[in-house]
Chains A and B, each alone.
Chain A
Amino acid sequence: DADVTQTPRNRITKTGKRIMLECSQTKGHDRMYWYRQDPGLGLRLIYYSFDVKDINKGEISDGYSVSRQAQAKFSLSLESAIPNQTALYFCATSDWDSNYGYTFGSGTRLTVV
């Protein structure tokens, strides 16, 4: 099994629908992150969590919300999806020690029509 698992891998949804992207990890890391990747824009941070009780907004949090259900689970929700949220979404984890960098999931490709 992968260290960081994202579900679903692909999703097509309609404008206005609520959708949840899920992330679970077996790394035992405290820190989890949600990034969005768009062509030519790189990765932009949506939300991050340093432990179960700590949730922080990233640079592009508008239109998104998150839930840290447990140390191993971090979900991203789009309350009312819009077409410009069409993107590739990545979950990542890290230990408190920044020397090791991130471990990424395989991504969720979301299309809003």
Chain B
Amino acid sequence: AQSVTQLDSQVPVFEEAPVELRCNYSSSVSVYLFWYVQYPNQGLQLLLKYLSGSTLVKGINGFEAEFNKSQTSFHLRKPSVHISDTAEYFCAVNPSGGSNYKLTFGKGTLLTVNP
């Protein structure tokens, strides 16, 4: 089984500051990793994903994440945030390969960007 730990439940930052949202996972097999974003009163939207290859993954809206296999981490970063980035962010994991595809989600990190 897999599990995901998002280390911060809330992250307040000021506009134009950099931000890092932390995600650690546990799995006995290789995994695919995802970050989803949920804007207020909306469903979840895929932000970026790591499947294989380069450990630095770029996503939408200027976000990027780095896969670190030795530390079993997949932290999300943005060098300069905007008010519109205020949302809840979810890290998720799924075993790579096979056909038993169902995501396991972390508990979420609420990012609040203040002016």
The one of B32, B46, B101, B108 that contacts A42, using a Cβ cutoff of 8 Å: B108
* Contact (Cβ within 8 A) B45 A98: no
* Contact (Cβ within 8 A) B99 A96: yes
Cβ-based interface call for B90 (8 A) = yes
Among A63-71, A74-82, A102-110, the one that faces the other chain is A102-110
In the assembled complex, the CB of B100 is this many whole angstroms from the nearest CB of chain A, namely 9
Chain A interface main SS type? strand
Q: How large is the interface on A (under 10, 10 to 19, 20 to 34, 35 or more residues)?
A: 20 to 34
Q: How large is the interface on B (under 10, 10 to 19, 20 to 34, 35 or more residues)?
A: 20 to 34
* Contact (Cβ within 8 A) B42 A94: no
* Contact (Cβ within 8 A) B32 A98: yes
* Contact (Cβ within 8 A) A104 B43: yes
Q: Which residues of A line the B interface, CB within 8 A?
A: 4, 31, 33, 35, 40-45, 48, 50, 58, 90, 92, 94, 96, 98-99, 101-102, 104-107
